[in-house]
Structure 1
Amino acid sequence: MALPRYEQIAGDLRGRIVRGELRPGDVLPSEREMTERWRVARATVVRAISVLRQEGLVESRQGDGTYVKQRTALARNAGERYRTAVKTGNIYTTGEHADILSAERLPAPEPVATALGVAEGDTVVCRQRVTFEGQTPTAMSHSWFTETVADAAPRLLLRQRIREGTTRYIEMQTQRRPTTGRDWWSARLATDEELTLLQLTGPAAVVEVRHVAYDETGEPLAYEIGVTPAGRWARSEEYALNV
């Protein structure tokens, strides 16, 4: 089911903010521009902007338009990063970079084997990274791939940044396009390793997101476990409650 038009507009603007296309202090397109572009009533645009205001992403100034607020701490999941890569050719937004800590073949632990559809102990490839905004670590992750995928995408085994993102890179190498994804979210205390890599003072809470990307046939392309410090906002979704 398609999202309401106001949520589509809010989602488009939110994505541009998250990707860094609209930066703190930038003014949003005028209500008139958005009504013409989206072919909707002014009330629909006003409602979309209200959603972003409630999320703390924008602020309206009387008689002067609506502006992107100073950088809100955001948690960008794997799906959002893939959309950024497709749109811009670069998985990282302005000011972001990643350190690749490892890229190696390992026997698949049971959760990884289940997610990738292989047998426990089969050889898989794992990449571990820490993502930074400036000098501040904002996330760490482990990304896992089958040996078949890694054979077709050899840069997965290099300790070098893949600026277009691993999922986008795999798509270009294999022609297998990710069409669906599934996320599992949980909150817990950080491990000792996470405290160190994310520069947190323990005990500290983190959010863990487990993500699987599937191709057109329903076969898994990648499995990622991402961890972010608590207090960062994720992209919001609207859904029906009366189903």
Structure 2
Amino acid sequence: MPELDRTPPYLQVVHELRRRIVDGELSDGDRLPSVRQIAEDWGIAQATAMKALAALRADGLAESVTGVGTVVRSRRNLHRSAADRLERAVTTGKIYPDDEYAKIVSAELTVPPTWVADLFELGEGEQAIRRHRVTYNDEGPVSASTSWFSPALAETVPALLETERIPGGTPNAIEAATGQRAVTTEEASATLRATDQDAEDLGIAVGDPVAAGRNIYLDAGGTVIEVGESVAPEGRWKVYRKV
């Protein structure tokens, strides 16, 4: 039986089921445990279990299906955050769940935006490694993202400059080559309007609202390892998980 702490019991159930959805343990269309099963597994009242499932439905991560029960509905509504992808990469060696995949559109050395250059302490005109990708599921684009890396990694991790996916993800490749391990991420988000590039990547119109994010991967000493930017179509939930 899962152990409960001082967090309200229904929220503990919600957090655990969200984790399974975000990690891909529960895929779109999978049936969630029934009210009775949740009540038995967690040792809680059925009314509390019903409240937990209602919260997942309210978040757009599940829906009730007549004759079936409550099923996962993540394909259209879930946007996995940088923190989710980092945790998945370092714990499982995989960044994407089975129902998603990414295409690396470009990989190059180029002059980064000022805010990225400042984080890597680069001088004016200095280049950084840029990897741009689009993530898909079987319904189409889920998100588009750009990762920036120190130019010093061009020699130690040359795969960063190739338009091929890196097995195990970039965090593990960098750790293997340099010993630097990404252990935390800082994230910021905003609602913006789609640029020409966003529209092309996501199959939406220029000016459509998008959920934009910026993230910074740091090692235990606070050194910046990777800086990222991402956009996703409106209507997708980003689930934050506090560990």
Q: TM-score, normalised by structure 1?
A: 0.81
- The one-letter amino acid of 2:38's match is E
2:238 corresponds to 1:225: no
2:38 corresponds to 1:31: yes
When residues 151 and 194 of structure 1 are mapped into structure 2, their CA distance, relative to the original with a 3 A threshold, is: same
C-alpha distance in 1 between matches for 2:139 and 2:71: 26
- The one-letter amino acid of 1:53's match is R
**Counterpart position of 1:164:** 168
Number of corresponding residues: 233
**Counterpart position of 2:71:** 67
C-alpha distance in 2 between matches for 1:75 and 1:122: 33
**Counterpart position of 1:13:** 17
Q: Encode CA deviations 1:133-187: one digit per residue, 9 max, x unaligned.
A: 1251121111100023343322111110124222233233322222221111111
Q: Choose the corresponding residue for 1:56, options 41, 53, 60.
A: 60
When residues 64 and 126 of structure 1 are mapped into structure 2, their CA distance, relative to the original with a 3 A threshold, is: closer
2:98 corresponds to 1:91: no
Gaps spanning 5+ residues in structure 2: where? none
The aligned runs of 1:1-243 (5 Å cut-off) are: 4=7, 6=9, 7-29=11-33, 30-31=37-38, 34-35=41-42, 41-42=44-45, 48-59=52-63, 66-69=70-73, 71-134=75-138, 136-236=140-240
C-alpha distance in 2 between matches for 1:58 and 1:22: 11
**Counterpart position of 1:241:** none
User: 120-129 vs 19-28, which deviates more?
Assistant: 19-28
C-alpha distance in 2 between matches for 1:191 and 1:20: 30
When residues 145 and 3 of structure 1 are mapped into structure 2, their CA distance, relative to the original with a 3 A threshold, is: farther
Task: Note the C-alpha offset of 1:8.
Answer: 4.6
Alpha-carbon RMSD across the aligned residues, in angstroms, is: 2.9
Q: Helix, strand or coil for the counterpart of 2:152? A: helix
Q: Helix, strand or coil for the counterpart of 1:83? A: helix
C-alpha distance in 1 between matches for 2:103 and 2:6: 36
